[in-house]
Structure 1
Amino acid sequence: MKVFGFAGWSGSGKTTLIEQVIPCIAGRGLKVSVIKHTHHAFDVDKPGKDSWRHREAGASEILLISDQRWVLMHELRGDPEPDLAAQLAIMSPCDLVLVEGFKSVHIPKIEIHRPAHGRPLLYPDNPAVVAVATDAAPDALPGLPLPRLDLNDPAAVADFILRHQGLT
């Protein structure tokens, strides 16, 4: 599986861009999956549901399955968070895994940058960044040594990823 990441400050538009890039890639007959890292507490379960009750009772894993989808919930229960390699190892085979977050993991990634947010660029301190997708005017990032992608052109971003990963 090829792996390609998206990095940027919170609120920069990583999720939105990934959401727009997925159909551009899947529309070419490629199977694409996503891993999203979050620093926030999250729960896909609902209090009172059977699966929630099983977790609350102490189950380490709960697999929910229907004729439409399945999901495996794994409770860490104090164990360390698995790294990206461990997460990739449990994913079903596909052509491309898009990764949101994992800023410090060394996989090729696009930085999402919006100058209006007032945050610095990440690429100078992150050698894994291979391009910058931005909504800045063309002359707003003088001297940018990386490919500059239009944040509002997901098809061009998808093309860049596929070329970079040798999938075209």
Structure 2
Amino acid sequence: MRVYGVIGWKNAGKTSLMERLVAEITRRGFTVSTVKHVHHDVDLDQPGKDSHRHRAAGASEVVLASAHRFALMREHRGREPDLPEVLARMAPVDLILVEGYKRDAHAKIEVFRREAGHDLIQPGDALVRAVATDTALEPLPVPLLDLNNTAQIADFILAEVGLGAGLAL
């Protein structure tokens, strides 16, 4: 499974880049799924709804299914699952883009904006393969990519995972 990360500190622009990358890479004919790590509880359910009642009763998994999509909620009632456990539950696609999980062992692009007020992660993480930025930076041992050039960043990621430039549809 091809997995590539987009990391950075809060307010650096990770989610905006992820959104643009998904659109660009799917436009090229590839299937893409995403994983986003959050630091708060996730709950798609509402108290009183049937699915919430199923979970409250002890169901391990609850699926909400409709004509256009389904959502699978899994109660792990224990430690937070690590990224490989999450990935193992996903359907096969050409590429999974991961937002967050900045300390995990997969290749990543760091999104860096000086105004976010944090230092670069890249100098301390050899798995950061490039830095996407809109800021002039001193030379780094990895490529600097233009944060506003989504096609360039997509090209870099697709080359990194062995998918080339794709089928420009």
Q: TM-score, normalised by structure 2?
A: 0.92
**Structure 1 segment 11-22 matched on structure 2, within 5 A:** 11-22=11-22
1:53 counterpart SS class: helix
Does structure 1 residue 157 correspond to structure 2 residue 157?
Answer: no
Q: What percent of counterpart residues are identical?
A: 52
Which residue in 1 is equivalent to 2:109?
A: 110
Alpha-carbon offset, residue 81 of structure 1: 1.6
> What stretches of structure 1 move > 4 A for 4+ residues in a row?
none
1:116 counterpart SS class: helix
Which residue in 2 is equivalent to 1:166?
A: 162
Which residue in 2 is equivalent to 1:119?
A: 118
Unaligned runs of 5+ in 2: 165-169
Q: Which of 143, 154, 160 is equivalent to 2:139?
A: 143
Q: In the aligned structure 2, how far is the partner of 1:29 from the partner of 1:157?
A: 16
Q: In the aligned structure 1, how far is the partner of 2:2 from the partner of 2:89?
A: 15
Instruction: State the one-letter code of the partner of 1:11.
Output: N
The RMSD of aligned alpha carbons is 1.1
Deviates more, 1:105-114 or 1:33-42: 33-42
**Structure 1 segment 50-69 matched on structure 2, within 5 A:** 50-69=50-69
Does structure 1 residue 31 correspond to structure 2 residue 31?
Answer: yes
Which residue in 2 is equivalent to 1:46?
A: 46
Unaligned runs of 5+ in 1: none
Encode CA deviations 1:64-113: one digit per residue, 9 max, x unaligned: 11110111101122x22221111111110100000011111110000010
Q: TM-score, normalised by structure 1?
A: 0.93
Alpha-carbon offset, residue 57 of structure 1: 2.3
Alpha-carbon offset, residue 28 of structure 1: 1.3
Instruction: State the one-letter code of the partner of 1:89.
Output: A
Q: In the aligned structure 1, how far is the partner of 2:126 from the partner of 2:15?
A: 22
Deviates more, 1:126-135 or 1:56-65: 56-65
